[in-house]
Structures are given as C-alpha cells and as structure tokens.
Amino acid sequence: MEPDGDEQKWLHHGMRDKLVAALSIAEDVIYIVLAVLFALTSIAIIVEFIWTLQLNSYAAFVEDSLDHFLIVFMLIELMHTILLFLKTHRFRHEPFLMVGMIAGIRAMLILSAHHTAMGRTATTSYIWELGVTAGVILVLAIALRISRTPAHSSTEE
C-alpha cells in the first residue's frame, strides 16, 4: 500500500525530521545513562564484596566470589552491548544470549557451592534443578551458535 499525499507530506516534513532527531538524541542519552549506571553498579558490587569479605570459610569465600563477580560480568556484558549499539546503531541479540548463559552458569555454581557448603547429599530436587538449568544453558548456547551464521555474524567487538 502506497502512502497517500498527506502521508507523503508528513514523511518528508521538516518537523518530523526534527522530532526524529530529538528522539534519537534522547535515545542515545538514555543508553549512556544506562551504561553509566551499569558501570557504577558493577563498581559498587566489587566494593561491597571487598568490604564484606570474610576469609574464615573457604566455601563461603568461593560462593560469595562467584555470586558477586558473575553479576558484575553480566552487567559489563550488558554495558558492552549498549556501547556497541551507540557506536553502530544496530541491535545485537548475542550479548543477551550470553548474559542468559552466564546467569545459568552462575545459578549452577552458586547452587552447587551452597549445596556442598551445607554438606548435603544429592537430592532429587537438587539434581532436577541442576538438570533444568543445564538444559536452559544448552538451549541458549544452541541459539547463540545458530544465530552466528555468516549472514548474521558481526565482527565489531
């Protein structure tokens, strides 16, 4: 369906161009604010981890380290995605799949570390939770692999 005369006028109207330019600037500003907030949150998590560091238990240290640093890794991956968008103005879905995989791995590691620290034996619910999380990670990895076909892959990193 071809645009009629009034639509054609609006599509090429100076006011529309100014509005689109202003909204584009607003979009960039919002993305920049989000990236800064991700960076500040990451720094706060690292500082909080160091401030509350407890070295009396190796298992607790490992569990806390994994928890804090994998969250920071996810935030930095999201910040990287925003920065790539600001540079190229193209949306990339791969970083979101990566963040999902990192979140799944984090959940598995925290669950295992907590389970081990408590001295528990493997229960059916524990095995199911690990299995379902591993399945989600596998599906995300397959989706990432499929999405990286030559037609979709990007070399801008």
Other Cβ atoms within 10 Å of 25 Cβ, number = 10
123 — alpha (psi -120 to 50), left (phi > 0) or beta?
beta
The confidence band for 8, taking pLDDT boundaries of 50, 70 and 90, is: low
Q: Is residue 155 part of a domain?
A: no
Residue burial 91-114, b: 16+ Cβ < 10 Å; e: rest: ebebbebbbbbbbbbbbbbbeebe
* Total number of domains in the chain: 1
Q: Are 129 and 111 in contact (CB under 8 A)?
A: yes
Mean pLDDT rounded to a whole number for the chain: 84
Please, are residues 85 and 31 in contact by the beta-carbon 8 Å criterion?
Answer: yes
pTM strictly above 0.85: no
pLDDT of residue 31: 93
Is 105 inside any structural domain?
yes
d(CA 151, CA 15) in angstroms, rounded, equals: 37
Interval 63-84: pLDDT, tens? 788 889 989 999 998 999 899 8
Please tell me which of 38-42, 67-71, 89-93, 126-130 the model is most confident about, judged by mean pLDDT: 38-42
**Residue ranges making up the domain that contains 54:** 5-147
Decide if 36 is inside a domain.
Answer: yes
Q: Is the pLDDT of residue 157 over 50?
A: no
